[in-house]
Amino acid sequence: MTQDLSPLVEIRHLGFSRGNRVIYEDISLSIPRGKVTAIMGPSGIGKTTLLKLIGGQLQPDHGQVLFDGHDVHRASRSELFELRKRMSMLFQSGALFTDINVFDNVAFALREHSGLPEAIIRAIVLMKLEAVGLRGAANLMPNELSGGMQRRAALARAMALEPEMVMYDEPFAGQDPISMGVLVKLIRELSDALNLTSVVVSHDVHEVLSIADYVYVVADKKVIAHGTPAQLQALDNPQLKQFIQGAPDGPVPFHYPAEDYQKELARGLD
Amino acid sequence: MSTRKIELLVGLFLLSGLAAFLILVFNVANVEVNSGKSNYSLQASFSNIGGLKVRSPVKVGGVVVGRVSAIELDPVKLVPVVTLTMDKRYNQFPETSSLAILTSGLLGEQFLGLTPGFVDEDVAMLGDGDKIDDTRSALVLEELIGQFLYSMSSKDK
Amino acid sequence: MGLINTIAAMGRNAIEMMLGFGQAGLMLWGAIFQKPRIAKGLPLLVRQIYVVGVQSMVIILVSGLFIGLVLALQGYNILVGFGTEESLGPMVALSLLRELGPVVTALLFAGRAGSALTAEIGLMKSTEQLSSLEMMAIDPLRQVIAPRFWAGVISMPLLALMFSAIGIYGGHLVGVEWKGIDSGAFWSILQASVEWREDIVNCLIKSLVFAVVITWIALYRGYQVTPNPEGLSRATTQTVVQSSLAVLALDFLLTTMMFGR
């Protein structure tokens, strides 16, 4: 099997703002095929936004996102839908459809797109559920599952159409250590077994560094550092160091920008 | 809840909607389906039709035999012309029949009363498009009161 | 300065309102003008008719019955003073068909089904279920919005007809069974004064217009919800308030067009 070396996703000089607030000034990164690429950064800098930009759910102010050479934001609606069948996204909340059970959730996209007979769909769904260890929970409703199990069910659903790329939005946020371990193992194994391109957006430094092949660190509306986990830890960038080590104050200030504390106190109530 | 039960309930819902519609159309608005062939129409002109309306009934001795289908003003003679749609079952009215605008009760709805005339050898039956000549106009309450007062005052003299 | 600010604020509100209308229009356009998919669309539609129509049926029937009863009782007390209590039939039937049927059904529908639609769509949006559909290459307008819209448009006129029918039955109960109006007189005068085109068709037209407006507002409010608890509760309230006001205003407009001549 010949390995296509061109990146699956290329983001070129992307700019995005929400109202008057600039989220990204000029961001460029590329996501290689068959690897786990992580995008890290502090909370509230719009990492989820980046995934939605890749998925074509949001329109950038300028710049391009190329998925396998196709400009996501220039594509017509039907072309975009064809591209989306090749990618899938694991939302932070899981975003399972709450009115149908786990089995139907996983089967949803298959029934919609594949046109396969129900017997084959059933086999595929059970296989996907087995892979995430939830075959026994097939008949439960999403609200009967714990948070970690919901995310695993969502993962099974994301895998249902055998996509080329899966985007994970904060897969580790708010998980207990066991669930976290399970998810780390699943993401790594699925990626290796299916030669899947994975994009993990997260601020959980240790988990990310343990599974990622390549890491981009985003802060201040741009990419501040990138490299393999080993390269990153060797870099001498104070902002990056603060983030990786988790120091409360440093180049990324602890305080939200405000006027001088002494002055504000002295001003009193007027 | 199972899909089957939902489908059943939705089916019942649609049926009850339809039933309500049919009740309203046939029981409340009293629409008659037998339009067209089983009817024939007659015409009559009056000097005053009072409160007669389209769809007012035509009765013979209290039995509804037809309805008013149109009310127009004759452009030349300037009198109201009423078109009646009659039930074909009742087609044995002689030409000498008379038509009067009557009122049910003192203030009630107005309707047309048809009084069959005498039958003779040279009297034909009314057919489609024929005109009834012998008509009596509506009694208008104001005119009646006016006449009454006038006759009272003339008596006093 | 104050005046200029006021004018600017007015302009800003107007622009936002227009933007809202535009977005709501686009949403409706996207939901309605799609190639219909009978095999996949029909089960979704049936399910939504169940939620929107069947589940509103009890409240509609009970309200219809009681409004018919009350209307007949009040009407009887007034009409008996003129000695024309036989006219109770047309009074009840015409009030129900021309006004109360469509309008009260619409108001109840806005409270019962409209708010539920907004809350459901809003929650689906907040929990990223709509985004998730998008990413699965499934158009949420087709999958989620369209079946709910059509369910509303189909259900509400039927509910209005049921409301009017059971209301007239309620009027019959009070007038004939209780107050002793002659049953024949009640029905014949009623039948002579209710017109198929004038009354029943107009009743249907009114409730169809109300159905479109209510479902549209409800779906749009849910679709545009600010994804947090406060936003959700505000959206639900807005649905009820805006659709009720819209129904009453449109009712006046339609009544003027239908019966104003």
Check residue A220 and give left, alpha or beta (phi > 0: left; psi -120 to 50: alpha): left
From chain A, pick out residues whose CB is under 8 angstroms from the CB of C125.
none
B84 shares its domain with B106? yes
3-class DSSP state of B76: coil
Residue range(s) defining the domain that contains residue B25: 1-31
Give per-residue pLDDT as tens, B53-104.
777 788 888 888 888 888 888 888 888 898 888 888 888 888 888 888 888 7
Which of the residue ranges A78-92, B43-57, C99-113, C120-134 would you say has the lowest mean pLDDT?
B43-57
- Please answer whether residues A194 and A88 qualify as being in contact, where contact means their C-beta atoms are separated by less than 8 angstroms: no
Q: Mutate which of C45, C52, C88, C191 to test chain B, going by most B C-beta atoms within 10 A? A: C191
- Same domain flag for B24 and B45: no
pLDDT at B148: 85
pLDDT tens for residues A51-95?
Answer: 888 888 888 888 888 888 888 888 888 888 888 888 888 888 778
The answer, for B24 touching chain C at a CB cutoff of 8 Å, is yes
Quick one: which H or E segment has residue C42? helix C38-49
pLDDT above 70 covers a percentage of chain B that reads 91
Residue A95 has its nearest CB partner, among C40, C127, C137, at C127
Banded pLDDT at A2 (limits 50, 70, 90): very low
Contacts of A113 in chain C (CB under 8 A): 136-137
CA distance C253 to chain B (A): 24
Q: Residue B154: inside a domain, yes or no?
A: no
Q: Are residues B71 and B5 in the same domain?
A: no
Averaged pLDDT of chain C: 89
Q: Is residue B132 pLDDT above 70, yes or no?
A: yes
The minimal CB distance from A84 to the residues C127, C129, C137 is found for: C137
The mean pLDDT of A18-42, rounded to a whole number, is 84
The verdict on B93 and B133 lying in the same domain is yes
Supply the pLDDT for residue C82: 83
Does residue B15 belong to any structural domain of this protein? Answer: yes
Determine phi and psi for B51, rounding to 5 degrees.
Answer: -100, 20
Chain C nearest-CA distance from B104, in A, is 10
Least CB–CB distance from C168: residue in B17, B25, B28: B28
For residue A142, the distance in angstroms to the closest alpha carbon of chain C comes to 12
In chain B, DSSP finds a helix count (H) and a strand count (E) of 2, 8
Q: Which residues of C154-177 are buried (b: 16+ CB within 10 A; e: fewer)?
A: bbbbbbbbbbbbbbbebbbebbbe
Which residues in A have their CB inside 8 Å of a CB on C? Answer: 52, 55, 57, 81-82, 84-85, 87-89, 91-93, 95-98, 108-109, 112-113, 161
Cα separation, A77 vs C34, whole angstroms: 13
If residue A28 lies in a helix (H) or strand (E), which one and from where to where?
A: strand A21-31
pLDDT of residue A11: 86
- Using the beta-carbon criterion (under 8 Å), do A108 and C134 form an inter-chain contact? no
Residue C160: pLDDT band with limits 50, 70, 90: very high
Same-domain pairing of B6 and B54: no
Answer yes or no: do B8 and B58 share one domain.
no
pLDDT (mean) for A93-103: 86
Rg (CA), chain A: 20
Tell whether C241 lies on the interface with A, counting CB pairs under 8 A.
no
CA B30 to each of CA A98, B88, C113, C158, C196: distance values in angstroms, whole numbers, following the listed order = 49, 18, 33, 19, 8
pLDDT reported for residue A133 = 84
Give a yes or no: residue B153 inside a domain.
no
Mean pLDDT of C159-167: 94
The confidence score (pLDDT) of residue C164 equals 94
Do residues B3 and B59 share a domain? no
ipTM for the complex shown: 0.80
Asked whether the beta carbons of residue C132 and residue A95 sit closer than 8 angstroms, the reply is yes
| Separation CA A85–CA C225 (nearest Å) | 27
Residue C192 neighbours by CB under 8 Å, 6+ apart: B30, B55, B56, B57, B109, C90
For residue A194, count CB atoms less than 10 angstroms from its CB and return exposed for 0-12, middle for 13-18, buried for 19 or more: middle
Which chains does A contact via 3+ CB–CB distances below 8 A?
A: C
- Is residue C63 very low, low, confident or very high in pLDDT (cuts 50, 70, 90)? very high
What chain C residue is nearest to A163 in terms of C-alpha separation?
A: C136
Whether B5 and B48 share a structural domain: no
For B31, the closest chain C residue by CA position comes to: C196
Residues B43, B20 share a domain: no
Tell me whether C161 touches chain B (CB under 8 Å): yes
Q: Chain C: nearest CA to B52, how far in angstroms?
A: 12
User: Closest approach of chain C CAs to the CA of B11, in angstroms?
Assistant: 9
- Band the pLDDT of B106: cuts 50, 70, 90: low
The amino acid sitting at B100 is A
**Residues B95 and B140 occupy one common structural domain:** yes
pTM (predicted TM-score): 0.79
Contact A96 C128 (CB under 8 A): no
Q: How far apart are CA A106 and CA A160, in angstroms?
A: 6
Contacts of B10 in chain C (CB under 8 A): 46, 49-50, 53-54
Number of domains, chain B: 2
Size of interface B-C (CB pairs under 8 A): 84
**Predicted pLDDT at A94:** 79
**Among A54, A68, A50, CA closest to A8:** A68
Considering the domain architecture, whether residues B81 and B134 belong to the same structural domain is answered as yes
Q: Mention every residue, 6+ apart, whose C-beta is less than 8 A from residue B108.
A: C84, C86, C189
The answer to whether residue B93 is domain-embedded is yes
Same domain, B12 and B61: no
Angle at the Cα of A79 (from A31 to A88), degrees rounded to 5? 45
Short-list A41, A1, A35, CA closest to A23: A41
Residue B57: which of C43, C97, C192 has the nearest Cβ?
A: C192
Q: What is the mean pLDDT of residues A223-232?
A: 82
If pLDDT is split at 50, 70 and 90, which confidence band does B157 have? low
Q: What ranges do the domains of chain C cover?
A: 1-33, 38-259
Chains B and A touch (3+ CB pairs under 8 A): no
Instruction: Determine the pLDDT at residue B105.
Output: 66
Q: What is the pLDDT of residues B26-50, one digit of tens each?
A: 887 776 655 556 788 888 888 888 7
Burial class from Cβ neighbours inside 10 Å (0-12, 13-18, 19+) for residue C52 reads: buried
Residue C65 buriedness (CB in 10 A; 0-12 / 13-18 / 19+): middle
Which residue in C53, C155, C196 is closest to B29 by CB distance?
Answer: C196
> From residue A18, how far is each of A13, A21, A25, C253 by CA, in Å?
17, 5, 12, 40
Within 8 A of C127 by CB-CB distance, chain A residues are 93, 95, 98
Rounded to 5 degrees, φ, ψ at B44 are -155, 145
Please give the single-letter amino acid code of residue C66.
F
Tell me the pLDDT band of C235, cut-offs 50, 70 and 90.
Answer: very high
- What does each C-alpha distance from C234 to B42, C118, C120 come to in angstroms? 64, 10, 14
Cα–Cα distance measured from residue B10 to residue C42, given in angstroms and rounded to the nearest whole number: 12
Do A17 and A41 contact (CB within 8 A), yes or no? no
